[in-house]
Structure 1
């Protein structure tokens, strides 16, 4: 039988669409989640405001503890996930995967047949998250080098591999959750 009170470690954060007032909290979260690339606070504000239908905020006790930024790729049936951040306060709850499931079930993503993201080979946490997500939804995961260290980053950043996950129909996804 569940207890009447939840501890912060066992209580699941509330998932929702972001709004412009979340920009600073998102920015602070991303800064605290190394090795994520930091964007400007203004960038996070614009993401939360202009792309709110394809982004997710996880909130616990009024604090942003999870974030996914994404967008539908123009003229394609593909959802691109730019960043996934989970605060140390909310780790171990499967929050990253739950946010991804929340996102792909949204109406704004109904036309997506693929989820795409880029990951460097050394980012074990991201590989684990997206591999787990693909397994849960029964989707195929493929990757190939995309933005290359020398060609695109002038040697300043590791090669980003384009990860493509085949998405199932929305009703099938709902059952996977």
Structure 2
């Protein structure tokens, strides 16, 4: 997978909240496979969206090696038109998924990195950035928005009364 083809992955909440099972059902997963997961309420899941079939099969094999359940499902994404793709749903403990991401980084770098990043974001231990064009906005380093000052004529009083000097006061407060 090239850099422009970086895999899309997101973490699914615990089985106790039924999110993993809902995703599996939406993709036509075998009913018995879905039901066998019900007893593992402490598990979380991850879903890789629209992976080429070759990567999906390799991911499933690697997952099995480290004790993570992996389900290949029909893809709901439009990515990969013209080639066979699958969504892969993983289920296991957070520690199991971390082990899988480390294992994948050895041979399937992009998949392992994407899973590690998703786990890190889910656990809140990674710095986050918003990307917009060529600009990056690092969240959590310093206060970026102090407040929002609404000075439209219909703000609060409805008739615009008392808004004299609001912008100047707001600028002074920002200093």
Is the pair's TM-score, using the shorter chain for normalization, greater than 0.5? Answer: no
Q: Which has the higher strand share?
A: 1
Larger Rg: 2
TM-score by length of 2: 0.28
